[in-house]
Amino acid sequence: IIKGLNGAIASKRVTYDFARLMEGAKEIKCSEFGDNIIAHM
């Protein structure tokens, strides 16, 4: 799970709460963020 979360954040495709704190991040829906975490596991 930690590997997936780290990869998802590094990809800069994140939910609003992360996106507002990151430069160049793309805001996505929570369900898309969950899929992104799984893809990086």
pLDDT confidence tier of residue 33, bands split at 50, 70 and 90: very high
What pLDDT score was predicted for residue 3? 98
pLDDT confidence tier of residue 4, bands split at 50, 70 and 90: very high
Listed in sequence order, the residues at least 6 apart from 20 whose beta carbon sits closer than 8 Å to its beta carbon are none
Mean pLDDT across the stretch 13-41?
98
Reduced to 3 DSSP states, what percent helix, strand and coil does the chain have, rounded to the nearest 5?
Answer: 55, 10, 35
Mean pLDDT across the stretch 11-17?
98
What pLDDT score was predicted for residue 5? 98
Mean pLDDT across the stretch 1-22?
98
Helices and strands in the chain: count of H runs, count of E runs: 3, 2
Q: How many CB atoms lie within 10 A of CB 37?
A: 19
